[in-house]
Structure 1
Amino acid sequence: MGFDFSRRQWLTIVVISIADFCNAICVALQAPFYPQEAEKKGCTATEFGLVFGVFELVVFLVSPIYGAHLNKLGPKLLFNGGILTTGTCAILFGMLDKVEGHVPFITLSFIIRIIEAMGNAAFLTASFAIIAKEFPNNVATMFASLETFFGLGLIVGPTLGGALYDFGGYSLPFAVLGSALFCAAVMSCLVLPKSHDDEDLKPSGPSMISLLKVPGVLLSALSIMMTSMSIGFLQATLGTTSSSSLMFVINGGVYAVSAPGWGWLCDHPAIKQKYVIAVGCAFVSAGFLLIGPAPFFDMGTQMWAVILGLTLHGLGMGSQLVASFSDALGTAIASGLPNSIETYGLVSGMWTSTFALGAFIGPTVSGLLFDSIGFRSSTLFVFILHLIVMVMMLMFTWTCDRSSKMDVSVSAGDLLQIDGTLDESVLIGDKFLPPPRTKR
C-alpha cells in the first residue's frame, strides 16, 4: 500500500480537502451566533431549534437521491454545485439580522437552511464518490484525510467566527467565511480534474434498495447512524453537566487526529474492517460509561473521567465512521454491484444520509431521556446500542468465516482493482452463491 500519487490525484485531494475544511467552518458557524439573533426577533427555542434540525433532515432525505443519480449528473458538477450553494447560503444567512419581523425572519431562516442542506448533501456525496474513484488503493486513508479536514473545520469555525463576531457583529463571520467557501468553490471548478469514464454514462444501475439488501452494508449503515447519534446525544446534553466549552473540542479533536490512522489500518488487505468497527463500538461504549458516569459506578461526575470518556469517544468515532465507509463500499462490490461510479455514489449517499439521520435522532432522544431519567442513566442508552452493534458485527464476521465463504469485509482497495467477475463465492442478500461446478 503506497502513496505514489499522480499529479491528478494530488490536485484532487488538495482541492477537496480545502473545500471540506471551508465547508465544515460554514456548517459549524450558525450554532454560536444564530440563537441570540433569533431571540432578538422574538423566536422561541423550539423555532430556532427546528432551523438547526431541518438541516439534518433534508440531508437525510436528499443524499440517497444524489447518490442514485450521481452517474447521470456527474460527480464534478454535483461537487461544484454543492459548495457554491453552501457558500452562497452562508453569506445569505449572515444577512438575516437585516430582516425585520418575526415571521419573515424565521421563514427566511428555514428557506436558506434547507437550500444550504441540499448543497451540503450534494458536496459530501460527490466528494466521497470522487475519492473512491480516484484512490482505489487507498480509499479508507483518503476518506479519513477528508474527515480530518472536516473535523478541523468544525473546531476552527466557532473559534474564528467568534473573533469576527466580536470585531464586526453578526454579519461579518458569515460574510468572510462564506466568501472563503465560495472562493474554494471557484478554485475547484478550475482545478478539480474532470472524470472521463464512458462507464459512468450508463443510464441505469443499482438502486439504494439493492444496496441496503446486502446484510453487510446494512450493518455498516447501522454503525454510521449509531455513531452519529452518540455525537448528537452529547451536543444536546453534555453542556448541562460541564461548564467548560473545551469539552466539546476533545472528542472532535481526537477524531480528526486519529482518523488517518484508522484509514491506514483499514486499507491493509489483512484487516477485516468489521472488526475495526467492533473495536470502535467498544471505545464508544467505554467512553459513555465514563462520561456519565454510569449509575452503577460509585462516584460523581469527575473531570478526568469526562475527558477520558470523550477521548475514547473520539477514537471510537474515527474507527466506526472510517471503517464503515470502506467496508460498505467493499461489501457492495463483493456482493455483485458494479465496480463503477454508480456504486460509489450509492455508498456515498448512504453514508451521508444515515449520518444525518443519526444526527437528527440523537439530540431528540437524548433530550427526552435527560428529562425523564437524567444524564447519568441516559448514557446507558448509547452504551447498550453500541454494545449491540459490536456483537452483531462480530457474529456476522464469525459466521462468514465459519461458512468458508468469501469474507465480505475484504479491503475496499483490493475490490476496486477487480475489473472482471469475482471467482470467489459472494454474499448477496441473505443467500450464498456456490462456486461453479465442473462437469464430470
Structure 2
Amino acid sequence: MEGESEMQNEPSTSTASSFHNLSKPKLIYAFTVVTVVLALGFCLYSLPAPFLPLYHAGRNVSSVWDGVILGVVPVGYLISCTLTDHLMEHFTFKPILMTGSFVLGSIFIINSFFNRIANNAIYIALSCLFRVFAGIATGFIAVTSFGALTKLVPTRIATVTALAEAALNGAQAFGPFMGSLLFDYGGYSIAFWLPGLVVLCCVLIEITIPRVNTLPEKSDLNDASKVWGDPWILLAAWHCAACQVLLYFHLPTLAPFVERSLGMSVVWTGLALLVNTSTIIISAPPLGWLIDKFNPYFFVMFSSVILPFLYMCIGPIPLFHLATSKLQVMLVLALLGFFVPMGCTPILLIMFDVYKMRNGGKMSISASNTIISIYCSCFPLGGCIGSFSAGILSLYMPFEWSTGGLGFLFIVQSVLSFIYCWKVSELKKCTNGERKPLLE
C-alpha cells in the first residue's frame, strides 16, 4: 500500500509537470474559483425543482410537464459532455468555462420573463428548449471544471474528484432550498433572474483565473479515439453510471411510498433525501483521500458487495420479511450516500490508470480531456436511466419490489466489477516492468 502511495505522488501523466507552474497562492485561488463556479452551476441545475410545480398549478399547466421541463436538463447535460470533449481540442478551459457561465446565467435571466407568456403551449415549448440549453451550459461548466482541477493537482486525482463532487452535490441540495426562498419572497421572476445574474457576474471573476494548459498537442488529437475505442475504459465508466442509477432510481417514487407505508408527509421525504445528500458531502473528501492513498480497485469491489443488498433494504423487498420503518429508510438513504460515491469516485483514477497501462505508461492532455468528458457524462446518463425506468416500473409494481428487483439486478453488475478488477490486475502484472501505470 505504501508503494502505491509513493507511486501516486509522482505525476499522473507524462505531461503533468507542464500542466501548470503556478505558485501555491495562485493554485489555491484557481482551485477555489473553479470549484465555486462548479457549485453555482449545479445550484442552478436544481433550483427550480420545488417551485415550478406550484407555479404551473396556478397557470393550469399539467403536472406531466413538471417532470418533462425538469427532466430535459440532464439530457442537455449529457449532450454537452460529448460536445465539450471536441471543444477542448481547440480551446483552453477558460473560454469554455466562461461561455458556460454566460449562457447559463443569460438563460435564467431570460427565463424570468416567461411568466409574461400567456399561451401555455408557447410557455411549455420555450421552457423545455431553454432548460435543454441550461443543461448544455452546465455540462460546459462541469467538464471543464473537472479537467482544470485534475490538472491543477494531477497527483491527487481521487481527492480532487471527491472535493468537486462534494461541492456540486452540496450545491444541488442547496439549490431547491434557495429556489423556494426566492419564489416565496418575490415570485417567479426573481427566482430566475437573481441567481442568473450571480452566475453571469462570475464570468468577470473567471477572467482572472491563472492560465492552466488544457490544450492538447496536435499530434495527440488521435488519442481521443483511442479512449472511445477502448472497452476497458468504457466498462469502468459504465460502472460509474450504474452506481448513479441506484442514486436516482428511488427519487420519483419515494414520496408516495413514504406516505403509503409510513404515513409521513413529503417534508419527511425531503429531510431523508437531505440526509442522503449530506452523507455524500461529508464523506466525499476523506473518501477521496483514502482512495488516493490506497488501491482504488479495492473500493470499487467493496462498494459492489454492499450496494445490491443495501438497495434491497430501501423498501425493503418483501422476501426479507422486514418491517418498514422510518429509521430503516433514513439509515439506508444515509448509507447509500456513502457507498454510491465509493463506487464512483475511484472511476476517474481507474480510467486514467487503465489508459496509461495500455498505452506505454503515458497519457496526453487529449486523452485526459476525453476521459474526463466520459466520466462527467456517466452522472446524467445514470440519472436519466434511473429516473426514467423508475417512472415506468411504478405503473406495474410497488416500490418495494422495484427497488428490491434493481438490487438483485445490481448483483450482476457487482460480479462484472469483480471480474473487471481481477482482469485489470492480471493485465498489470503482464505489463509490469515494461510500462508504468499510475498504480502498481
TM range (shorter): 0.7 to 0.9
1:216 matches 2:256: no
d(CA) in 1 for partners of 2:23 and 2:341?
A: 24
Asked whether the equivalents of residues 144 and 322 of structure 1 are also in contact (C-alpha less than 8 Å), the reply is yes
Alignment of 1:269-418 (within 5 A): 271-336=294-359, 339-402=363-426, 405=429
Structure 1 residue matching 2:222: 3-state secondary structure? coil
Counterpart residue number, 2:18: none
* Alpha-carbon spacing, 1:348–1:155, altered in 2? closer, same or farther (3 Å): same
Letter in 2 for 1:378: S
Task: Note if 1:17 corresponds to 2:35.
Answer: yes
Match of 2:13 in 1: none
2:203 is the counterpart of 1:192: no
Indicate whether 1:72 and 2:90 are aligned: yes
Q: Is the 8 A contact 1:62 1:118 kept in 2?
A: yes
Q: Which amino acid aligns with 1:63?
A: C
CA distance in 2, matches of 1:360, 1:127: 22
Does the Cα contact within 8 Å between 1:140 and 1:326 map onto a contact in 2?
yes
Q: Indicate the RMSD between aligned Cα atoms, in angstroms.
A: 2.5
Q: How far, CA to CA, are the matches of 1:424 and 1:203 in structure 2?
A: 21
Native 8 Å contact 1:72 1:201 kept in 2? no
CA drift at 1:203: 6.6
What is the one-letter code of the residue matched to 1:77?
P
1:51 equivalenced with 2:69 (yes/no): yes
Does structure 2 conserve the Cα–Cα contact (< 8 Å) formed by 1:56 and 1:356? yes
User: Percent same amino acid among aligned pairs?
Assistant: 21
Tell me if 1:256 matches 2:281.
yes
Which 5+ residue runs of structure 1 have no aligned equivalent? 409-421, 427-440
Q: What is the distance in 1 between the residues matched to 2:38 and 2:159?
A: 15
Give the whole-Å Cα distance in 2 for the aligned partners of 1:48 and 1:203: 47
CA 327–407 in structure 1, closer or farther in 2 if over 3 Å, else same = farther
Alignment equivalent of 2:172, drawn from 154, 178, 189: 154
The residue number in structure 2 matching 1:181 is 199
Quote the offset at 1:113 in angstroms. 0.8
User: Which stretch of the first structure deviates more once superposed, 146-155 or 212-221?
Assistant: 212-221
Q: 8 Å contact 1:21–1:153 — kept in the other structure?
A: yes
Normalised by the length of structure 2, the TM-score is 0.86
Between the aligned partners of 1:69 and 1:47, the Cα distance in structure 2 is: 32
Q: Which amino acid aligns with 1:366?
A: A
For 2:301 and 2:23, the matched residues in 1 are separated by 31
Between the aligned partners of 2:279 and 2:34, the Cα distance in structure 1 is: 22
Question: How far is the alpha carbon of 1:102 from its aligned partner?
Answer: 0.9
Q: Could you tell me how far 1:196 is from its partner in structure 2?
A: 4.4
Compute the displacement of 1:133 (Å). Answer: 1.4
Instruction: Tell me by how many angstroms 1:76 deviates.
Output: 1.4
Equivalent residues of 1:276, 1:323 under 8 A apart: yes
Aligned to 2:319, the other structure's residue is in SS state coil
Measured against aligned partners, the alpha-carbon deviations of 1:344-368 in whole angstroms (never above 9, x if no partner) come to: 2111211222221111111111112
Task: Indicate whether 1:36 and 2:59 are aligned.
Answer: no
Structure 1 pair 92–329 and aligned structure 2 pair: CA distance change class (3 A):
farther
| Pair 1:202–1:106, CA change in 2 (3 A) | same
1:59-88 deviation digits (Å, cap 9, x = unpaired): 222312211331212211111111221122
3-state SS of the aligned residue for 1:31? coil
Give how far 1:299 is off: 2.7
Name the SS for the 1:234 alignment partner.
coil
The aligned length equals 409
The secondary structure found in structure 2 opposite 1:73 is coil
CA shift in 2, pair 1:407/1:177, >3 Å = farther
In structure 1, what is the equivalent of residue 435 of structure 2?
A: 424
38-47 or 132-141, which moves further after superposition? 38-47
Q: Are residues 1:206 and 2:222 paired?
A: yes
Indicate how the Cα distance of structure 1 residues 202 and 91 shifts in structure 2: closer, same or farther if over 3 A, else same: same
Q: Which of 82, 91, 95 does residue 109 from structure 2 map onto?
A: 91
After superposition, the Cα gap between the structure-2 partners of 1:328 and 1:402, relative to the gap in structure 1 and judged at 3 Å, is closer
Give 1:124 deviation, angstroms: 0.7
In 2, are the aligned partners of 1:278 and 1:391 still within 8 Å (CA)? no
Superposed CA deviations along residues 35-78 of structure 1, whole A, max 9, x for unmatched, are: 22233344323333222222212222231221133121221111
Distance 1:366 1:274 in 2: 29
Gaps spanning 5+ residues in structure 2: where? 10-21, 259-264
Q: In 1, Cα distance between the equivalents of 2:392 and 2:174?
A: 31
Cα distance in 1, alignment partners of residues 149 and 50 from structure 2: 32
Deviation for aligned residue 1:259: 1.0
Q: Give 2:14's aligned residue.
A: none
**For 2:30 and 2:77, how far apart are their aligned partners in 1?**
24
Runs of 4+ displaced beyond 6 Å:
none
User: 1:209 Cα shift?
Assistant: 4.9
Q: 1:241 aligns with which of 257, 263, 272?
A: 257
Assess if the C-alpha contact under 8 Å between 2:304 and 2:417 holds in 1. no
Partner of 2:44: 26
In the alignment, is the contact (CA less than 8 A) between 2:242 and 2:382 conserved in 1?
yes
Distance (Å, rounded) in 2 between the aligned partners of 1:248 and 1:5: 40
Query: Alpha carbons of 1:306 and 1:339: their partners in 2 closer, same or farther (altered >3 Å)?
Result: same
SS in 1 for 2:40: helix
Question: Which of 75-84 and 336-345 deviates more?
Answer: 336-345
Query: 238-247 or 208-217: which moved more?
Result: 208-217
